[in-house]
């Protein structure tokens, strides 16, 4: 969550209608109590905070709890925003040199960077003009942060390897989920999970963020006038972590084309529609629904007239991978990696992939340009000079990148 100098833009503020025509139309009472201005500013700030992404708010709150816990440990009771710059710089140096988790273990380097940026967001929200990331008076604390991350955490404690990073699913693992019934249309859990997987894959959704905002009217079934092929069109985007407001829009509306195989997104979408109550087919109905646990076996309607909880949406792929005994860190974010990584490896233009995924910064895609599990396996076999004959790997991209891995034995 990168900090931006222009964190609060004009779109975050509400201007009453009467102000649009000039100050002469505004009735100003100069005799009001001084608390009125403070009250108004507090309410404006509350409004701004309410529009901020939930994950950003929670992360800032957590990081500031760590900051305050450290300040309490050294008997520093002042509010952070009231500490002069020179003293705050020293406190930050001490914090970055010594902070550890409650159990005494070290934080990952990225966590220290997060503490730094969260403190900056906190100061911004308090009206402070201090810039911890650029001001010269905070240069020393930035140097300490850099030194701690490079030397102590990475070199001495082997941190920085992103042990919690989610990985993509291989084609074989996806096949296994279908084979075991974790994906499919045999029951309400599997059907809803499969619709989520296919739409997320084709539309470039984020893990839980866009899934829980999705409404039934946000996608629609269309027919290509040229090919007469059916496809699903993601018509209405409701904002995301990096795109919100009038200045951000997609280059095109993602589509999920009908296929002739058993993974056809149109087929599953139609079945999902057939299994939901008619009352939940309005444009503003939540897309993912709670399961009707009290239905009789003969009832074709599987879902209730209420939304599926965000925590349940957040466990779609986690539960499926666990049930299928798939190893590694598989989370809902894995679908995003499964979407983008093959495109990168198949040499799809980076800006095209970013337009599908909704990334605003092309550099953000660099983290997806890593060797997949399948490629890591292939490279190890090549370097091991094994005489075994391996069957052809069944991946989405073998035909596109196979020549890279040819090896003359």
Q: What separation in angstroms does the CA of 20 have from each of 25, 247, 255? A: 9, 21, 40
Q: Which of 22-31, 39-48, 270-279, 376-385 has the highest mean pLDDT?
A: 270-279
Which DSSP string do the residues of 65-105 spell out, in sequence order? HHHHHHHHHTT--S-GGGS-HHHHHHHHHHHHHH---TTSP
- Asked whether 96 and 66 are in contact (CB, 8 A), the reply is no
Residues 216 and 277 in one domain: yes
pLDDT tens digits, residue range 98-155? 998 999 888 888 889 999 999 999 999 998 999 999 999 999 999 999 988 887 656 5
In a domain, 316, yes or no: yes
Would you give the DSSP letter of residue 241?
S
Residues 216 and 322 in one domain: yes
Residues 103 and 183 in one domain: no
Residue that finishes a domain, picked among 351, 368, 385 = 368
Q: What is the pTM of this model?
A: 0.63
Would you give the DSSP letter of residue 74?
T
pLDDT tens digits, residue range 328-368? 888 887 887 777 777 777 777 776 666 666 666 666 666 66
- Asked whether 303 and 276 are in contact (CB, 8 A), the reply is yes
Which DSSP string do the residues of 265-277 spell out, in sequence order? HHHHHHHHHHTS-
Residues 330 and 197 in one domain: yes
Residues 205 and 151 in one domain: no
Residue that finishes a domain, picked among 332, 352, 368 = 368
Confidence of residue 92 (pLDDT cuts 50, 70, 90): very high
In a domain, 9, yes or no: no
In a domain, 30, yes or no: no
Residue that finishes a domain, picked among 126, 155, 184 = 155
Confidence of residue 162 (pLDDT cuts 50, 70, 90): low
CA-angle at 206, arms to 200 and 211, nearest 5°: 65
- Asked whether 57 and 49 are in contact (CB, 8 A), the reply is yes
pLDDT of residue 359: 60
In a domain, 1, yes or no: no
Residue with more model confidence, 250 or 58 = 58
Mean pLDDT estimate for the chain: 78
Segments forming the whole domain that contains residue 83: 41-155
Nearest Cα residue to 181 out of 324, 333, 394? 324
Distance CA 241, CA 206 (A): 9
Residues 142 and 193 in one domain: no
């Amino acid at each position: 969550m990168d900090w931006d100098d222009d964190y609060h833009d004009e779109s975050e503020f509400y201007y009453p209608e009467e102000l649009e025509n000039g100050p002469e139309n505004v009735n100003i009472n100069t005799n009001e109590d001084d608390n009125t201005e403070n009250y108004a500013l507090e309410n404006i700030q509350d409004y701004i905070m309410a529009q901020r992404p939930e994950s950003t708010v929670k992360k800032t709150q957590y990081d500031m709890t760590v900051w305050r816990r450290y300040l309490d440990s050294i008997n520093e009771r002042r509010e952070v925003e009231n500490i002069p710059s020179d003293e705050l710089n020293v406190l930050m140096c001490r914090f970055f040199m010594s902070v550890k988790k409650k159990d005494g273990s070290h934080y990952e380097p990225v966590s220290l960077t997060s503490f730094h940026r969260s403190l900056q967001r906190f100061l911004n929200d308090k009206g402070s003009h201090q810039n911890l990331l650029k001001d010269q008076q905070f240069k020393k604390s930035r140097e300490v942060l850099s030194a701690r991350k490079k030397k102590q955490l990475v070199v001495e404690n082997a941190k920085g390897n992103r042990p919690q990073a989610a990985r993509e699913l291989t084609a074989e693992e996806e096949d296994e989920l279908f084979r075991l019934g974790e994906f499919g249309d045999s029951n309400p859990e599997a059907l809803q999970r499969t619709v989520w997987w296919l739409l997320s894959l084709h539309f470039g959704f984020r893990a839980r963020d866009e899934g829980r905002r999705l409404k039934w009217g946000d996608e629609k079934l269309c027919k290509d006038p040229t090919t007469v092929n059916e496809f699903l069109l993601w018509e209405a985007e409701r904002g995301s972590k990096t795109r919100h407001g009038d200045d951000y829009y997609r280059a095109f509306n993602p589509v999920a084309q009908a296929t002739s195989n058993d993974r056809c997104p149109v087929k599953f979408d139609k079945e999902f529609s057939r299994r939901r109550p008619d009352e939940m087919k309005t444009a503003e109905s939540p897309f993912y629904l709670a399961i009707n646990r009290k239905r009789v076996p003969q009832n074709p309607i599987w879902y209730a007239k209420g939304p599926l909880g965000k925590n349940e949406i957040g466990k779609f792929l986690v539960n499926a991978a666990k049930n299928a005994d798939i190893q590694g860190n598989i989370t809902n974010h894995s679908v995003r990696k499964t979407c983008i990584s093959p495109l990168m490896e198949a040499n799809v233009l980076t800006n095209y992939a970013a337009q599908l995924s909704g990334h605003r910064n092309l550099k953000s895609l660099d983290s997806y340009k890593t060797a997949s599990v399948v490629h890591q396996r292939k490279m190890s076999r090549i370097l091991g000079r094994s005489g075994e004959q391996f069957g052809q790997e069944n991946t989405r991209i073998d035909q596109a990148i196979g020549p890279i891995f040819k090896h003359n034995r």
